[in-house]
Structure 1
């Protein structure tokens, strides 16, 4: 296999693995799956949710932050869209920009609609692609009062 073909194949594999990291982040949050959620982070990763001064600066702080989120949000549904991923195979690093559409219900029972952009950095220094940094820039987080309802009888089940 030629060097350029091998590099192209490695980049394609990396892109798919990075997309899976992004998806597992969402699944981990939404399903409150702590092992899945923590596995997407490097030990020294940074997670910034809009406010740089309150960023979590390692895996333990990230775990504490998500546990707080799970206490304050009744439910979450994250959807990552439009990922643009740049990969540096030689250095084992990557960056990505992706949009977020999410719905959530806070502890007071208020349904929320959220849109934001993720700015991500990744590494595969441990042999697996993981976040080294995830920054979130919120465009809006707004209550949705109609026709959304938290009443079970108002929800259509598939």
Structure 2
């Protein structure tokens, strides 16, 4: 039987992980790269259109490549699940992504699969993998439109 302290620690971990995921969206959308990169472990991995490993590669990807893909973007995450096992947690969270590219509004949705690790008492992303279900111009709708390159394996950049 778990003690009240064990149960309280589990709830605290869940709340901190929820904050980590929320900060990810806010800092990314506000392009606050120096704070954003601190959300990842030093050997963290982000896997999306590309796979990048380590804070320097993650920083370069988000601060240089991502702004070239969209003039503006907004991330909305809901329905997060998390399984905490000591200093490692895994989970999935649903994502809606709105963006503007070349003056065209886009809508998309997908999910993140997360592995998080407690480092020096704080939760960080050890890996974050995004899977898009679709990406489509808002004016055309999204029905039947898979995300371009969804079936392609991302290239790992060190």
TM-score (norm 2): 0.83
Structure with the higher helix share, 1 or 2: 1
Tell me the equivalent position of 1:18.
17
Match of 1:134 among 115, 128, 131: 128
Instruction: Please list every run of 5 or more consecutive structure 1 residues that lacks an aligned counterpart in the other structure.
Output: 147-158
Distance in 1, matches of 2:96 and 2:69, equals 19
Per-residue CA deviation, residues 114-151 of structure 1 (Å, 9 max, x unaligned), is 101110000112221000000011100111127xxxxx
Query: Which one of 40, 56, 71 corresponds to residue 60 of structure 1?
Result: 56
Q: Tell me, what secondary structure is at the counterpart of 1:45?
A: strand
Alpha-carbon offset, residue 3 of structure 1? 5.5
CA-based RMSD of the aligned residues comes to 1.7
CA offset digits 1:82-127 (Å, max 9, x no partner): 00111012xx010110100110112x12211010111000011222
**Residue segments in structure 2 that go unaligned for 5+ positions in a row:** 141-158
Q: Where in structure 2 are the equivalents of 1:32-111 lying within 5 Å?
A: 32-49=31-48, 51=49, 54-67=50-63, 68-89=65-86, 92-106=87-101, 108-111=102-105
- TM-score, normalising length from structure 1? 0.83
Q: How many residue pairs are counted as aligned between the two chains?
A: 140
